[in-house]
Amino acid sequence: MTVVVVMMRNYNQDAYFSSYKNIERDIRIFRRPTHTRTTTIIRLYIKNVTMYKIKNSDRNTRMRFTTTTILIGCMAIYLYFGFDSGQCNRKCRVKHGTGWNDGRYYGRLSLSFTSCTCYDQDDVRISTDVPRFFEREPAGYPYIESGNAGVCGEDMVFYKTAEEATKRNVSIVNCGSCGACSNTRDVGTYHKMSNTLTKAATKCGISYLFFGERVATYCMRESTSMTDACIDCWVTNMGCTMTHCFKECVLKFELPINSPNNPEGKSDSHVSLTSCLLCDEMYCSPNFIRSCGANRRCAGVNTDIGRPESSICPYVNIID
């Protein structure tokens, strides 16, 4: 009995012996017969050990939750303000060059975290700082819905109409202007992976978030058969999405791999997309098309996202 009491005292001094009432209870217990006294002490010991473990388990759970919340908050602040993810390069190249893959220009994040300082390839500063973020554009931006019937031929020449390209016996790879992805290999990959490319690119985008651009590039090379230039366009778009849509895609956890891309089903409106895809649609897709030419809609691909028919190019004729 003495051993049991000492064990209880050492195991949970604060929980069991901290109050006068508990001491009184101990005295009453020792006035009972020996067998009753022993049984009662053992029961109390088990009860207090259990309560001690539960109490400490709750404390550990709270500590883990608090620590996780702080880490996520710090990561969000770092990604939003401190980690540029190539956004200043994109903004300066779009502002002063021919698109966000124009290597003649680069940018650096200013101390305000809201603007970028642009430089040319000779490290000469260009004019004044530019806003860090792209402007929001209407959902469903590109060329089909805006009435621009121009097309890009497999010869990388822009034709004002599809009829003009057809008369010259040139196959059409995408609606709109030509770019890094405007070729038969990349457009062919779009069609072959029409229902899988979204999730494959999302997984590579997650690798970008944790391991950076090089790992994401390797991931895209292993997951697709696209050209290196077009893969650069896709990886650049991942950085754009990370910069502009971190809250919608990561904090809300509405990535294409874990939520429906178009919750309301295929419709005539782009606004039925998830907040993650809609954000990318308004901030990043327009510059992807301007810089890289063919995205999947412009290349005539009907994907698992469920886009409106009016936004899918009907002129592409390189696919049997």
pTM of the entire predicted model: 0.72
Establish how many alpha carbons lie within 13 A of residue 139's alpha carbon, considering only the half-sphere containing its beta carbon. 15
Q: Which domain holds residue 160?
A: 151-311
Number of domains in the chain: 3
Whether 97 is covered by a domain: the verdict is yes
191 and 161 in a common domain: yes
Whether 248 is covered by a domain: the verdict is yes
72 and 99 in a common domain: no
Whether 140 is covered by a domain: the verdict is no
Question: What does the pLDDT look like over 46-88, one tens digit per residue?
Answer: 555 555 555 556 666 777 767 777 766 666 555 554 467 899 9
Dist CA 176 CA 146 (whole Å): 10
Establish how many alpha carbons lie within 13 A of residue 299's alpha carbon, considering only the half-sphere containing its beta carbon. 29
Could you give the angle at the alpha carbon of 192 between the alpha carbons of 283 and 295, nearest 5°? 20
117 and 226 in a common domain: no
Q: What is the pLDDT of residue 106?
A: 94
Question: What does the pLDDT look like over 257-316, one tens digit per residue?
Answer: 766 666 665 556 666 788 898 899 899 999 999 899 999 999 999 888 877 787 888 899
Please provide the size of the chain in residues. Answer: 320
What percentage of the chain has pLDDT greater than the value 70?
68
96 and 40 in a common domain: no
Whether 320 is covered by a domain: the verdict is no
302 and 198 in a common domain: yes
